[in-house]
């Protein structure tokens, strides 16, 4: 798939005149890192960042002699930054830079890494410009192997700094995210690797590539589901306090929480909302009947990503191609799921086999489809075939009340549909969480058309996960006899809902399914469904960033 051309002037310039010296360091390390941090405002501090800060703190405490911590800015040069240390040696002012790691060795001769060299030279130039003095050299201390390296400032160095500032500023104005660096060693140590996904980008360009997994395997933080009406979620210190009627308060460390889901009318204090937003914890609302209501949207930066999304998804050809992938992915998933059911049952299932064969024929048409409307028709056919035989996957001894005779919703009219509907609400909540985490716009999709109610991009992405995360658990839980037809459901005339007990049960089955790991068919590494949701959104974003081809390949086996 082609990447999207963006006109230079679509992005209005809102950058300060000067560049941080550490941004220049990032630029020398990897232009893409610079772009992600400076333009897309993605910062994920990794262990090394904090360890580095601590080193600086320690040096400050140990230092007995004069210590100057200087914040400098010079508009003409176009730099700003804080010098680690400034010392006077033989009448010369010399900036020092402290690094936690090792130096670079060439023939065992210690040298500075290029990016560090540029950084210290930039500090030298900044000092000269801001204080009006002459600086002859800068020094870098590498603490891991305790090496001090002197970097003399000469004309060549000055020119290097100037050129780099120019190039970096140019890149800052650009709407293009630079490609992944060719040196993959840089990526394994990079703090942004889980956002930039360099290995996946390499795979997109070279199908033979065996990606290392730089994307975290799992998110082990908890999802808190607050079910009981009248429960209050508040903040105390660095903890969430959950107060329930007639029960002792429960406290949860914020570090252990990834989402708070408020079902029905559980209360949350404004303090808690602020706190969770600050800690990047998702807040979602689901109605008492099990409808997804909405989420707290705390995306601030990331507008570049959305502009690219708008540009890409306003091209109808591009949307159509993504939609084809999506319909194919969902249809194949449904078909594979039916085939799996066929293998399990010993008895003849003629209808099932027919439906599987018909679905195969319908799926063959997908690549030729020329409009979204006909694609919708095909998806309708697939769904009709699929739901027409889904009940065949249920065990013969399933109680009549749990049997399935066709999909209906708003409101669901039988127990099976009640289970599906509630499952899809939980799913769309998780998909929304992933979209908001990545910083995309949920209201602009490529398949579902913009409407006022549900966010189309979330509906689009949800298609991929319907079978593995919802349909599958509904069928298996029924076959395992996990449902009580009376106590787990509430029947009000035509409408059927899950009762409080039923919802608790469903949530635990669903969350357990999400924690199962799965080997991704394209990237070849395994990760949990919890993480997979986010990975899939990031892979979608790659479709319009020139690194496409990995999206929509998740098919159950």
Q: What is the contact surface with another protein in residues (CB under 8 A)?
A: 45-51, 53-54, 57, 61, 188, 213-217, 220-228, 231, 237-239, 242, 244, 250-256, 504, 507-508, 511-512, 514-515, 530
Return the H-helix or E-strand segment holding 109: strand 109-111
Least Å from the CB of residue 306 to another protein:
27
Least Å from the CB of residue 54 to another protein:
5
User: Are 151 and 139 a contacting pair, CB within 8 Å?
Assistant: yes
Structure tokens at 155: 């004309």
Least Å from the CB of residue 233 to another protein:
9
Return the H-helix or E-strand segment holding 141: strand 137-142
User: Are 67 and 60 a contacting pair, CB within 8 Å?
Assistant: yes
According to DSSP, the residues that pair with 232 across neighbouring strands are: 243, 267
Least Å from the CB of residue 431 to another protein:
17
Measured from the CB atom, the residue of 83 and 214 that comes closer to another protein is 214
Measured from the CB atom, the residue of 214 and 355 that comes closer to another protein is 214
> What 3-state DSSP class applies to 542?
helix
Measured from the CB atom, the residue of 134 and 144 that comes closer to another protein is 144
Least Å from the CB of residue 226 to another protein:
5
Measured from the CB atom, the residue of 11 and 277 that comes closer to another protein is 277
Least Å from the CB of residue 87 to another protein:
23
Q: Give every CB contact of residue 248 below 8 A, 6+ residues apart in sequence.
A: none
Measured from the CB atom, the residue of 214 and 366 that comes closer to another protein is 214
DSSP 4: P
User: Are 528 and 516 a contacting pair, CB within 8 Å?
Assistant: yes
| Separation between Cα atoms, residue 255 and residue 257, nearest integer Å | 6
143 is in an annotated binding site: no
Q: Which of 286, 265, 262 is nearest to 273 (CA)?
A: 262
Q: Classify each residue of 231-244 as buried b or exposed e, where b means 16 or more C-beta atoms within 10 Å of its C-beta.
A: bbbbbeeebbbbee
Q: Output the DSSP codes for 442-507.
A: TT--SSSPP-SSS-HHHHHHHHHHIIIIIIHHHHHHHHTT---TTTTEEEETTEEEE-HHHHHHHH
Backbone angles phi, psi at 79, to 5 degrees: -135, 150
Measured from the CB atom, the residue of 172 and 221 that comes closer to another protein is 221
66 is in an annotated binding site: no
Measured from the CB atom, the residue of 10 and 188 that comes closer to another protein is 188
463 is in an annotated binding site: yes
Least Å from the CB of residue 313 to another protein:
31
Q: Which residues are annotated as a binding site?
A: 379, 448, 463
Q: Which residues are annotated as a binding site for Mn(2+)?
A: 379, 448, 463
């Amino acid at each position: 798939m082609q990447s999207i051309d963006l006109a230079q002037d679509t992005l209005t310039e809102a950058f300060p005149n000067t560049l941080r010296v550490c941004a220049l360091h990032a630029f020398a390390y990897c232009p893409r890192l610079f772009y992600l941090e400076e333009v897309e405002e993605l910062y994920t501090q990794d262990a090394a960042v904090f360890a580095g800060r601590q080193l600086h703190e320690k040096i400050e405490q140990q230092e007995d002699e004069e210590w100057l911590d200087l914040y400098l800015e010079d508009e003409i040069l176009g730099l700003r930054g804080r010098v680690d240390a400034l010392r006077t040696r033989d009448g010369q002012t010399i900036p020092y830079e402290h690094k936690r790691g090792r130096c670079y060795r060439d023939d065992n001769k210690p040298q500075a890494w290029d990016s560090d060299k540029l950084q210290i030279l930039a500090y030298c130039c900044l000092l000269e410009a801001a204080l009006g003095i002459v600086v002859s050299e800068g020094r870098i201390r590498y603490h891991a192997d305790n090496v001090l390296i002197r970097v003399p400032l000469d004309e060549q160095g000055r020119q290097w700094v100037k050129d780099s500032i120019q190039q970096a500023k140019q890149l800052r104005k650009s709407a293009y995210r630079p490609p992944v660096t060719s040196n993959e060693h840089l990526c394994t140590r990079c703090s942004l690797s889980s956002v930039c996904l360099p290995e996946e980008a390499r795979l997109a360009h070279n199908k033979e590539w065996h990606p290392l997994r730089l994307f975290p395997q799992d998110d082990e933080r908890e999802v808190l589901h607050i079910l009981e009406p009248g429960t209050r979620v508040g903040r105390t210190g660095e903890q969430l306090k959950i107060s329930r009627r007639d029960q002792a308060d429960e406290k949860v460390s914020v570090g252990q929480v990834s989402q708070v889901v408020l079902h029905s009318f559980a209360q949350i204090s404004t303090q808690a909302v602020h706190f969770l937003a600050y800690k990047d914890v998702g807040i979602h609302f689901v109605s008492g009947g099990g409808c997804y209501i909405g989420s707290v949207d705390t995306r601030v930066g990331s507008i570049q990503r959305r502009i690219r999304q708008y540009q890409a998804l306003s091209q109808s050809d591009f949307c159509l191609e993504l939609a084809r992938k999506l319909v194919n992915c969902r249809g194949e998933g449904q078909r594979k799921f039916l085939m799996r059911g066929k293998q399990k049952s010993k008895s003849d299932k003629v209808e099932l086999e027919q439906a599987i064969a018909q679905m195969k024929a319908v799926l063959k048409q997908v690549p030729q489809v020329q409009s979204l409307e006909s694609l919708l028709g095909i998806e309708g056919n697939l769904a009709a075939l699929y739901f027409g035989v889904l009940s065949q996957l249920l065990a013969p001894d399933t109680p009549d009340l749990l049997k399935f005779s066709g999909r209906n919703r708003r409101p669901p009219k039988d127990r099976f549909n009640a289970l599906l509907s509630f499952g899809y609400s939980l799913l769309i909540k998780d998909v929304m969480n992933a979209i908001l985490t990545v910083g995309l716009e949920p209201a602009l999709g490529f398949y579902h058309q913009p409407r006022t109610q549900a966010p189309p991009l979330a509906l689009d992405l949800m298609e991929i996960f319907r079978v593995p995360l919802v349909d599958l658990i509904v069928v298996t839980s029924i076959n395992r006899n996990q449902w009580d037809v009376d106590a787990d459901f509430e029947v009000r005339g035509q409408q059927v809902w899950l009762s409080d007990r039923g919802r608790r049960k469903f949530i635990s089955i669903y969350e357990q399914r999400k924690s199962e790991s799965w080997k991704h068919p394209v990237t070849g590494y395994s990760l949990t469904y919890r993480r997979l949701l986010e990975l899939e959104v990031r892979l979608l974003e790659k479709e319009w960033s020139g690194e496409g081809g990995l999206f929509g390949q998740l098919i159950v086996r």
